[in-house]
Structure formats: structure tokens, C-alpha cells
Amino acid sequence: MQIAKTLDVLRTQVEKLRPGGESIALVPTMGALHEGHLTLLRRARETCDHVIASIFVNPTQFGPNEDLDAYPRQLVEDAAMLQREGCALLWAPGVEVMYPDGFVTNISVSGVSEGLCGASRPGHFDGVATVVCKLFNQVRPSHAFFGEKDFQQLAVIRAMARDLDLTMPHVHSIIGVPTVREADGLAMSSRNRYLSQEHRAAAATLPREMQEAIARIEDGQDTAPTLAALEDALLGAGFSQVDYAVLADAGSLAPLERLAGSPARLLVAARIGGTRLIDNMAVEQNR
């Protein structure tokens, strides 16, 4: 596996991978790779001729009081994992490569980025949209893979790519890959490693209570009291704050008071022991 740290090396290596129009998968990450990322890589390998992964802890998507400095960085270990998964090229730029002096552009996607995590993390999705647009332009992949765990992020990226016509010249397919979970149901995340043993055990309440709430909503029970009960259960289990627990349209992410015939999603963000966990699950119309 080659490792590119400058744009010149990246371009040379990418061109070597597609002399005859081979399909190229991009798996953008911030590193600290876990089984969830490896699942994206495996899907990418099954789908495309070559896989390129990027590792960049993007400062513009972290708020001033968030965990940018503490975010786990383990490039050597990550590179070994990528190599084992058959990744052809690792794009690992420094901040000075992605945001050189004088960088002044910001991509802001309205609508889908505004509620949910957008409300509690102002500017976060601007940072994501801007860096992913840059990654798409730098690598020009035919396919890009993202985890459905970050469901709102995926919606923002799809809207950005559509509106900026990025899907036409290169990124033909933006593929969402279902969330990978630990044995007790907790969605895999690089941030799970912040959890103490006690909080890690309590964190499994999140997917369990979400499934409980989904069963009730699918059985026709009222959404508002069901979501209130979900919040109470999380607070009772040791979560300190619930940023949101929302039933939303799976496409627009607009909140729903009840199931309305179109695909729906339950999305939750809650804090435990200083760590913010997010999760989302499909809600079916009829059980």
C-alpha cells in the first residue's frame, strides 16, 4: 500500500491506479479505525477495482469545546489495518495540505444539516461538507463509502454532491453502509474508547431502548410519549443529557409526529460521562 501525504504524490498514485478507467472507491475516515471502518473497506473492495482510504482529523468539523485535541490518532496502526484489508493507497494529508494559509472557502448545506446534530454542533456539517468536497475533488473516486451510523452526515454529503454536480464528473455512487454493532448492540465508534467500564456497560441501554421505542411506534403507540419514555430511560441508566431523540423522515430528516407512509428513522444523540454518542435505526411502517 502506498501512502500519499502531498497532493502531487496523491495525483500520481491515483492516476497509476486507473490507466484504463478502473473503478476507484474512496473510504474517507478520521482514523482510529475499528470494525465499522473495516466493513466499509470490505464493501468498497467488493464493489471497486481499487480502494483508497483517507485519514484526516478534520479540525473544521470540531467545535471549540469538542474533542479535536483528544481525538485518537494512530496512523501506523491504522495503515497496517488498511494494508491487511487490501487498500491500495492511503491519503493522509496534514492540516497545512488541506487548509493552507489563506484558505477561505466554506460549504454550507441548508435543510438536512440544520436540525439534530446540526442544532447542537453549530458549524459541524459545514466542516464535513467542505472537507468531503475537497476529498472528492482530490481523489475523484467513482464510488464513495460512508457509514449509516452518521446518518445525517450521509444525507448532508449526498445533498452537497448532488448540488455541486460532483456526481456527474466522478463520484457516481455514494454508498451508505449499515451500522456495525458490538455484541450488546452499541454502534461502533472511535469515541467509544473514551467510555469508562461503567459507562461502556450503561451505553448499551441506548440501542436497547431505541429498539423498544421503535417496537412501540411500529405498534401504533403515540410517538411523543414514546420518545419521552426513551429519554427518561437513558437518563435513568446514567446518561447525563439527551441532545435529541427524534422520529424523522429518512430522506429529508424532517421530524415526524407519526409514521406517514414514507421511510422513517429514529435518531438519538445522548451524552454519557462526557462522551456524546449517536445512533439511528430504521422504523418500519407495519410490523
Q: How far is the CB of 124 from ligand PAF (least distance, A)?
A: 9
Residues 6+ apart with CB under 8 A from 31: 55, 56, 57, 72, 73, 74, 75, 78, 190
Q: How far is the CB of 227 from ligand PAF (least distance, A)?
A: 26
**Choice between 30 and 89, CB closer to ligand PAF:** 30
Q: How far is the CB of 29 from ligand PAF (least distance, A)?
A: 5
116's grid cell: 439534530
Quick check: 269 and 276 in contact, CB under 8 A? yes
Q: Given the residues 37, 124, 143, 199, select the one marked as catalytic.
A: 37
Interface ranges with ligand PAF (CB under 6 A)? 28-30, 58, 61, 128, 131-132, 150, 153
**Choice between 61 and 205, CB closer to ligand PAF:** 61
CA triple 106-110-114, angle to 5 deg: 105
**Choice between 58 and 205, CB closer to ligand PAF:** 58
Is 37 noted as a catalytic residue in this protein?
yes
149 is in an annotated binding site: yes
User: Helix, strand or coil for residue 203?
Assistant: helix
User: Helix, strand or coil for residue 193?
Assistant: helix
Quick check: 88 and 50 in contact, CB under 8 A? yes
- Residues in the chain, how many? 287
Over the range 107-124, which residues count as b (16 or more CB within 10 Å of their CB) and which as e? bebeebbebbbbeebebb
197 is in an annotated binding site: no
The amino acid occupying position 149 is K
Q: How far is the CB of 215 from ligand PAF (least distance, A)?
A: 29
199 is in an annotated binding site: no
134 is in an annotated binding site: no
> Binding site, residues?
30-37, 61, 147-150, 153, 180, 188-191
> Binding site for ATP, residues?
30-37, 147-150, 180, 188-191
> Binding site for beta-alanine, residues?
61
Active site residues: 37
